Every structure is written in C-alpha cells, then in structure tokens.
Structure 1
Amino acid sequence: MKTPGDPPHRFAYRRSPDQDVRSPAHHPVVIIGAGPVGLTLALDLAKRAVPVVLLDDSDCIGEGSRAICFAKRTLEIFDRLGLADAMVAKGVTWKTGKVFRGTEQLYAFDLQPEPGHKQPAFINLPQYHVEAALVAAVQAEPLVDLRWSNRLAGLAPRDDCGLLTVATPEGEYRLEADWVVACDGARSPTRGMLGLAFEGETFEDKFLIADVRMAADFPPERWFWFAPPFHAGQSALLHKQPDDIWRIDLQLGPDADPEWEKRPEVVRPRIEQMLGHGDFALEWVSVYRFQCRRLQRFIHDRVVFAGDAAHQVSPFGARGANSGIQDADNLGWKLALVVKGVSPVALLASYDSERREAADDNILHSMRATDFIAPRSPGERVLRDAALSLAASGKFGAAFVNSGRLSLPTTYSNSPLSTRDEGFHGGVAPGAAFRDAPLLASEGPHLWLSETLRDGRPVVLSYGGGRRRLGSAGVGVVDVPAVVQQRERGPLEDPEAMLPRRYALVDGDAVVLRPDGHVAARFHNPTREIVAAAVARLEGRAR
C-alpha cells in the first residue's frame, strides 16, 4: 500500500550556528511544529518582518492525506500569503453536498449560493500538498529558519521568555525565545511538558478513513449516507480528491479493533461492497475516534498554543485544519505588533479569548454532529431516525439532520478589539469575518476586496469618497464605489454594487477591517480621528 507524501518530501538535517554557542541563542519567536498551522504562522510573521525559528522533530512532510477539505476562509488566508491560486488549481473545487438515507437522497445543499467571491466554498486537497506548498514558501523566506530533525526536549517558561532545550542527531542545544508558539498537534509534547490538561470528551465510535485510487465519474460533491445498503446500520462519506484519489469514511462502531480494521484484507471487501467492484488501489488507511477537547487557556506566560495543540474536534465539518489555520491568521498580526513594540503584550489576550470562542463554537457543532451521526443511546437513535424520516419532506425537515455543519469563520461576538456601533441594520457587524466582493479595475484584471488585506494592515472601506478625509499612516482606504487608484493595478470600481449591498452601506459610511479581515468598526460620517481611535482599539493601543 503506497503512502502519498513519502520521498521526495524529505528534508536533510542541517546544523545550526546556534548549536556552536555556549549561551542560549536568543530569538523573538520560536514555533514548535512544521505542520499546516506552524508553517502558516511562520510565513505570516516573516511577511510582517518578524524573524522566526521553526522546529520540527521529523524530517518529512506528514504521511497520508489527512485533512483534505479547505474552506473559503482558509483559502483567503492562503491567498494573502500568495499560495491560493496554485492550491485551487491543484485541488477539486466543490460547493454541493448531498445527504442520503439508504439509497434515497434526502436533500442537497449549496455552500456558496451567492456569486462574487474570489475563492470557492471549498477545495479538496490532501494535506501533504498543502504542507509541500507551505514548506516551499517558507524555505524561500530569509526570515524563517526551518530546522528539521530538531525536537523540543525541554521547556522552562519564564516571565519574559521561554528557555528551550532542543535535541538533534548531533546532540542537544538551547534556545531562548521571547515567544514560543506550540503548533505540535493533538499529542502536543509542549502541552505535556507544561502539565496542561486537555479537557473535553472522547467518543467511543470508531471510523475508518480510506483513500483509494480509481477512475470514477462521480461529481465533485460531498456525499453522506445514513444506513447505506453497502454498510448497513452505520454511516459513510465520499469525497473526490485530485489525481483520481477518493476519500471514503466508514463508521465502524465502538468495538472495532483499529489494527485489525486497517488490514488491507479487511478494508478491501468493505470498499468493494460500497463501490460494487474491486478496480481500485488502496493509498492510505487510518482508524480514528472522535475527540472534542481544548485547553482551558491558550496562552501560558510566553507560551502560546494553536491548532490541534490547543483544541481538537471530530473531522465531520472540516473544522480541524481550517480552525488551526485561522488560529495562525488571528495570532500572526497581533504577535507581530507586540514583537515590534507597536502594541502592548495585553493585545495577545484577545487571541486567547477570540480563539477560545472559536474553539467552543467548533466543539459545539462537532459534538452535535457526532451525537447525530453516532447516537449513544436507543432514545437518541429514535430521535435521529425520526429526523431523517422528516427530512425527506422538504427544507423544514432537512434542518434537523446533521451530517456535519461545515466550517465557517466564527464571529467574535464579544471581542475587546471591536468598536460598538449604533444605527446599523444588516450588513457585516463588528466581530464578523469580512464578506468578499469584486472590485472591477477599469484598466486591467478584476480585483477583490480580499486582496486589499495583503498589505497586512487595517483597511477602511469608505462609501462616498472619503479617501482623502480618512487616510492616515498605517491604514489603507478603499473608496466604494468611487474610482480610486489601488497600488499599481489600476482604478477600482464595483459596477454591480455587491460590496455596498453586502455591507449595508449608505453614503458617508465607513467600515474598518482588521488585518485578519474581521470587521472592527462601522461608522456614519466618521472623522479621521474617529477612525484612528478604532484602529488604536483593534491594535490594543486604546486607553
């Protein structure tokens, strides 16, 4: 059985000059773990002119496809980092899902029913492809020192730094870092070294993941079955990946033996029963149990946790990798401001509160999906089956069915970085993630609102020509829909008025976007001083 992501995705160990000094070498930021979250954060910080040391105990990209579903919000983050175009071109784009009971289709759903977004609702792309693209980008960044086969062997947090002991094939050495960011996965050694509890729930049912290579004409959609005829009494999921690879998930039940279930002679008959033929090759097989857990706090002195090291959810809903990458997006700009001395350390408390809110949101949706897919009592199963029977009646019934609510960005409902607004009705409220919209260049290609975030600074959307009135150092202003000059790519306009409709703008309105695209403030006819105060608040500089 072939494993995708094997060589040539291996990387040689290289000795660092830090290993040749007596005193611990000092760095502003050390990241533990070169998975998607650690790589994204390292690349983001480098683009904000913050040097990073990135340690990974392996010498290769992780085996197997693992996470495959990458959401629109995550693709917008990757686009800001210059990676989304290649990922979308390689991946399988989709937005339609279908839910079945037995052979009957209960309903279908559209994850992006409105036009006018640069990125698709989802792409399916194996995690090793995403990691390979991130590694290549990181290796091209002179401010990132990526050290393979460097394992964190010890961590002593201090009030103003962290002291790390790092093990290599040539022995141990020490580092000192102003900030240590643990992106080292669900089994996080960093978390264990600090003795931190990972609180939550582990579910008993086990599920089989199988990636198979085959030629098939199934459409690029998410298909989910309750009680399919080929896997009676359980559930199943089918996703298309690039290169004729198909992801199949099969519910196994609580008593399944993981090692037995992974044997090819056991897996193949299950897949053959599903497909009705044996003309396929097994690429990767794994068995997992759902876990919904998180740390009580994501920041412990100078150690910050992100991704699976901070929180873990079941895979239904594609919330794991997407949430972790959005952790990096939330943390990157804040940590850069703190490292540069622009903002106080207290700004990072908003990372803790906002991403704990996101984790709780993801865990809630994940647990509800898990309870529906794998009922834990006869009573729960009766209610689930009643909901499935009702779903065939139309949209009302379909709302009760939960095959995994798919990943959406969390609205930070109580963010300390938001400025309260009054008198707005509709649109995108403070704390919510921005909604993209086209900005047509009359001389050149289309532009998108999401592209205005590439500069890594706050953006002000001004409806009614407030560019000169509101512009100030450190803030980009986009006039909507007035024609303005945007960098070197020509004037902007929005002939279909999608942007003012989506943000419920009237003449004189302004919307302040954070560097991560969440809305920070909305105003009617603001002055430059009012906008500057909102920017100071979102950067943690308000008094």
Structure 2
Amino acid sequence: MGDIDYQAIELEYKPAQGASHHGIVVVGGGPVGLSMALDLALHGQKVVVIDDDHRLSTGSRAICFAKRTLDIWDRLGAGERMVRKGISWNVGRVYFKDKEVWNFDLLPEPGHRRPAFINLQQYYCEGYLYEQAAAHPGIELRWRHKAVAAQERDGLVALTVETPDGSYAMTADWLIACDGARSPIRKMIGQESRGRSFRDRFLIADIKTQADYPHERWFWFDPPFHPNQSVLLHSQPDNVWRVDFQLGWDADPAEEIKPEKVAARIRALLGPEAEFELEWVSVYTFACERMEKFRHGRILFAGDAAHRVSPFGARGANSGVQDTDNLAWKLDLVVRGLAPESLLDSYASEREQAADENILHSSRATDFITPKSEISLLFRNTTLRLARDYEFARKLVNSGRLSLPSAYTGSSLNTADADDFSPALPLGAVAPDGPLRVAGNAAWWLGQLDGRFTVAVFCPTALPDPGLLHELAGLQGGPLRVKVVLVLGAGVAGPAPDGLASVQDHDAVLAGRYDARDGACYLIRPDQHIAARWRKPDKRRILGALQQAAGLPPQEAS
C-alpha cells in the first residue's frame, strides 16, 4: 500500500454542534496545535481544535525533527511512524569552497532509541498527527472554522468563529494559540512579537532525484558552484532532496523562483547531466523574534505564534512541540483543580527562556553564515580555513547550532540539589534515555515516563531498606498520579516489593547517565524534565519536591 498524498486530501468540514462552551480550545491545526491537543487528550482533557484551512501543509516546509521532539511524539503515540517514514541522520559535514573542513556526529554514543534527527516532510508529520488526533474521542477537529475575534471576559475567553455556514460564538475556559508566525489571535489581543529581521534572501528547492548521497547534512560556504554564498543539502523520504541557496538581499524573488533559474542552480550543484524534477520552490526571508509574555490571562501562546527563529539549526517546529510538552501537563493540573493557575506562569517563564536560547543560537548562526561586513567575512573565512586542522576553530564554525532541548536550571519548580551530582546532567534538564529490560523484554527508559510524575530510585547493586520501600509505595497514585519505579542493576533480584514497578538496567547505562549509586532518587516531571534528586531520599523530602514541582505552596504537602 502506497503513502497517502497528504498534500491533496481535503479535511472534512462539519458545522459546529452542541455546547457553545468548552474547557480548552486550540487555535491552529499544524504540528504544534495537533501535538498540543493530543497531549491534553492523553491527560484526559476534552479539546476542540479550530483551523481556518481545509488542507494540510503543502511543500516540505519544516523537515528536520530532533531527537527530543521524537521522544515527545513517542509519548503521544506518533513517534514510531515518524521514524519509520523519515530519513534518520546524525552526521553533518561542513565545506569551505571545494574542501571539507569539518564533520560532526550529533549522537556519538550508543544506547538511545532515537537518532539525533530525522528529515520528514511537514505534510507527513501533520498527516500522522492529524490521523492520531482524529481517532481520539477527546479531540474535536473543526476545519474551515476561522477565529475572527477573541477576548477574555468574565473569567472566560469569548470567541467569534466564521464558517462556510456563517458565524457563531463560543467560549472557553482556556485558549491556546498555535496559529503561526502571523498569529491572528496575537493581533486580536493587541500583542506583537519583537526582535530582529535579517536582510537576506534564501531559495528553498525541493527536488526529486535518484542521487545516491549519504543521509547526512551538507553545508557549503562559498562553493565554486554558488560563489560568495552558502548552500545546504538534506535528503528526505521519497527521493526528495532539500536544497537551500543563499541569494543575498538584492535578489528578486519573482525572478529567482522561475523554473529555468532554479534548474540552473541545481545543475551547478549536481552536475549538468543531473535528472530531477522540481517539487516545491520558495524564496524566504526570516526574523528572530518573540512575544514579551507567552501567557495573557487565559490565553496562552505556543510555537511560531509565540516565537520564531531563522531556519538554521532546526529550532522552529522543534521548539514549538517542546512548548506543548511543557504546557499540557500544567494546564491539566490546573483544570483538575490540583494546582493553582500560577503554575501556568512557569510555562511562560520556562519557554520564554528556551525561546531566548533559540533566538541567540539562530542569530549567531545567521551572522556567521551571512556576514555583513568585511571584518566579519574575514573572521568567518579564516575560521573555516583553520577548522581543517585545529579543534579550537571547529568550535567557532556555525552553520546552525542544531536544536537541543533547554534545561530549566533556574525554574521555580525545581528543588535545589542538597547532594553532589555530575554537572553533565544539570537539574532541570531532560531525563536521559537508555536501554533496559521490563519483565525480561527489551525496552527504553523514556517509554516508562508516560506523562505522570515519576519517582525513580536507582538500585545498581542492592534494594533500599524495606522501610523506605514501604514509604515509596505510599507515594503512588493519588491526585497527582505519581508513579514509582525501581531501576535495578543486573544482579539485583525483582520484582520490586510492595507492588512497586521495576525495570532492569542490565548494562548499567542509566546508572552511568544519572550518576546513580544505590539509593539515588530522581523526581521527574510529566514532561520528562528533572525536578529534584537526592543521594539518600525520604518520603518527606520527596513530597515537598513534588508539591514544588506542581506549583503548590509547601504547607499543602501531606
């Protein structure tokens, strides 16, 4: 059976029916909005998604999805399908003129379920998420429903929505705007994004060809086939290749997208005899900018609606999906009355920090790729020449620092370390993955972190004291749905006592990555970030850290 042509399918329009009030409304049915809806629904929330379009994206658009995003999509049930279809890659190569000056491996160690990146056309990504969302009973998808007015009023968000059958009014307890870089919702409430626009133009050409290049990221500075500019080459599924050509600010977009002009550039790269067909062509400029605040009362912003960056480093769609990972569990706790609304302020502060990191890296990459002065050009070219032979120069080469998840090291939800742990894994970082066995079967650690708070107790050589095990068993379940897992070394017998779950760290990979000796304990948030850890835990300290991670005042600890 062949692949569905997701660019061609028309999404079914249905008139609004039933109640006019909803708990959570998501505006925008792209990768970020659909990921948000899926995450909320998996926490048990009912979600309405409205989108003014009736098709998925056309053209490849975003193609590069990072390991962290794949880990999130694994939890949402879509990751495996993405990876099976996508092109996995870890290696990047950098060229200056006609010589390779450096190459790098983004996943140099074994023992991870997912590659550093996959390349996958956005229409596949959206199609898989759409099918996942459409099959979930907690999600209502409304295509060709366009939000034309939104305001917070009397503790609710009031919306006016236009459809082919006319307009209707609806209200929501919470509105999440995932409606893209031009975000109509942002404009409706009088907000804007601020930042820096770059005076340069780039041509994207997706071509279909039988080229046999390896699945790597190739970046050229000043190549002989496109002098004084840069070129980026990626592979995609279905024998599609993405080529980005830097054009310069003075290029005429209307002229540059003419097929004969694009074909001439492609042949200069691939050779005069190359056979290919153009699948999608676009000329773009870009900016690095964000909203000042991602939360405005009961309206929250995620993805490009909140922040956007230049495409170098694949930080756009990836950071948007990581927004959803941060927000969904917090909003779920607030809606269920288990956390104060102030918990949502931590979404804003944590993801504003992440946006600033992405903007900084993207801006630096853009300045290196497109130097705007003779001194900047001299610095760049000298760095590239030295990079062939000197390690210090390779660290300065910047063809786009590729997307990595942010560590929320300064988060108000963290409980400060009282014990020494390896600085390689800071408090607030994403929990590392690793291979393990569950009931004798091969599995992965992140697969055990299923959207609940997890207390992980490491037992490389021996189980903890029976009294502590009994205390840990008492932590399980409850309103916050806490899960306790013992991570057993290869020689430690299971199953765990008192009904506690256990996994086997058979090769001690997890013990190494978590700097864990017997008794080490980690509290991991529902979004898989580390909230607290101890060498010798007790129930009181774990409960206190759990309350803090849920945004609750200490006196509410039980």
State the TM-score, normalizing by the size of structure 1. 0.95
Distance 1:159 1:100, change over 3 A: farther
Query: CA shift at 1:485, angstroms?
Result: 4.8
Deviations 1:441-483 (Å, cap 9, x if unpaired)? 3522x111101112x2111110233554323122212212245
Distance 1:508 1:491, change over 3 A: closer
CA contact (8 A) 1:470 1:531 kept: no
Distance 1:388 1:160, change over 3 A: same
Taking the aligned partners of 2:207 and 2:132, their CA distance within structure 1 comes to 29
Q: Which of 161, 169, 172 matches 2:164?
A: 169
Q: Does 1:357 align with 2:353?
A: yes
Taking the aligned partners of 1:188 and 1:130, their CA distance within structure 2 comes to 21
Q: Which residue of 2 aligns with 1:88?
A: 83
Q: Does 1:438 align with 2:425?
A: no
Superposition RMSD in Å: 1.6
Q: Which residue of 1 aligns with 2:108?
A: 113
CA contact (8 A) 1:107 1:394 kept: no
Q: What code does the residue aligned with 1:443 have?
A: G
For residues 364-383 of structure 1, the aligned pairs below 5 Å read 364-383=360-379
Counterpart of 1:424 in 2: which secondary structure? coil
Query: CA shift at 1:484, angstroms?
Result: 4.6
Q: What code does the residue aligned with 2:406 have?
A: T
Counterpart of 1:178 in 2: which secondary structure? strand
Deviations 1:218-256 (Å, cap 9, x if unpaired)? 000000000011100100000010110001000000111
Q: Which residue of 2 aligns with 1:477?
A: 484
Q: What code does the residue aligned with 2:125 have?
A: V
Q: Which of 259, 273, 294 matches 1:264?
A: 259
Q: Does 1:420 align with 2:416?
A: yes
Taking the aligned partners of 1:525 and 1:252, their CA distance within structure 2 comes to 59
Taking the aligned partners of 2:544 and 2:124, their CA distance within structure 1 comes to 42
Counterpart of 1:345 in 2: which secondary structure? coil
Counterpart of 1:119 in 2: which secondary structure? coil
Q: Which residue of 2 aligns with 1:390?
A: 386
CA contact (8 A) 1:95 1:110 kept: yes
Give the unaligned 5+ runs of structure 1.
Answer: none
Q: Which residue of 2 aligns with 1:492?
A: 503
Deviations 1:485-504 (Å, cap 9, x if unpaired)? 59x9x962112111111111
Taking the aligned partners of 1:10 and 1:120, their CA distance within structure 2 comes to 32
Q: What code does the residue aligned with 1:169 have?
A: P
Taking the aligned partners of 1:155 and 1:83, their CA distance within structure 2 comes to 31
Taking the aligned partners of 2:494 and 2:318, their CA distance within structure 1 comes to 34
CA contact (8 A) 1:161 1:179 kept: yes
Taking the aligned partners of 2:470 and 2:282, their CA distance within structure 1 comes to 57
For residues 117-516 of structure 1, the aligned pairs below 5 Å read 117-158=112-153, 160-276=155-271, 277-426=273-422, 428-441=425-438, 443-444=440-441, 446-454=442-450, 456-464=451-459, 465-466=463-464, 467-471=469-473, 472=475, 473=477, 474-481=481-488, 482-485=492-495, 492-516=503-527
Deviations 1:176-220 (Å, cap 9, x if unpaired)? 011100000001111111121210000001111110000011000
Say which is worse superposed, 461-470 or 108-117, in terms of deviation: 461-470
Taking the aligned partners of 2:153 and 2:370, their CA distance within structure 1 comes to 44
Taking the aligned partners of 2:362 and 2:409, their CA distance within structure 1 comes to 20
Q: Which of 34, 39, 51 matches 1:39?
A: 34
Q: Which residue of 2 aligns with 1:12?
A: 12
For residues 524-539 of structure 1, the aligned pairs below 5 Å read 524-539=535-550
Aligned residues: 531
Q: Which residue of 2 aligns with 1:51?
A: 46
Q: What code does the residue aligned with 2:160 have?
A: T
Q: What code does the residue aligned with 1:439 have?
A: L
CA contact (8 A) 1:208 1:251 kept: yes
Counterpart of 1:330 in 2: which secondary structure? helix
Query: CA shift at 1:429, angstroms?
Result: 2.4
CA contact (8 A) 1:237 1:248 kept: yes
Distance 1:384 1:197, change over 3 A: same
| Identity across matched positions, percent | 48
Taking the aligned partners of 1:328 and 1:468, their CA distance within structure 2 comes to 35
Deviations 1:384-422 (Å, cap 9, x if unpaired)? 111111111132211111000000000112100000002
Q: Which residue of 1 aligns with 2:528?
A: 517
Counterpart of 2:342 in 1: which secondary structure? helix
Taking the aligned partners of 2:116 and 2:200, their CA distance within structure 1 comes to 29
Counterpart of 1:507 in 2: which secondary structure? coil
Counterpart of 2:115 in 1: which secondary structure? coil
Taking the aligned partners of 1:350 and 1:442, their CA distance within structure 2 comes to 37
Q: What code does the residue aligned with 2:429 have?
A: A
Give the unaligned 5+ runs of structure 2.
Answer: none
Taking the aligned partners of 2:144 and 2:399, their CA distance within structure 1 comes to 39
Counterpart of 1:414 in 2: which secondary structure? coil
Deviations 1:330-365 (Å, cap 9, x if unpaired)? 001001111111111000000000000000000000
CA contact (8 A) 1:57 1:150 kept: yes
Taking the aligned partners of 2:292 and 2:170, their CA distance within structure 1 comes to 27
Say which is worse superposed, 113-122 or 473-482, in terms of deviation: 473-482
Deviations 1:77-101 (Å, cap 9, x if unpaired)? 0000111111111110100000000
Deviations 1:86-118 (Å, cap 9, x if unpaired)? 111111010000000011000110000111111
Distance 1:483 1:232, change over 3 A: farther
Counterpart of 1:253 in 2: which secondary structure? coil
CA contact (8 A) 2:487 2:502 kept: no
Query: CA shift at 1:42, angstroms?
Result: 0.2
Distance 1:345 1:483, change over 3 A: farther
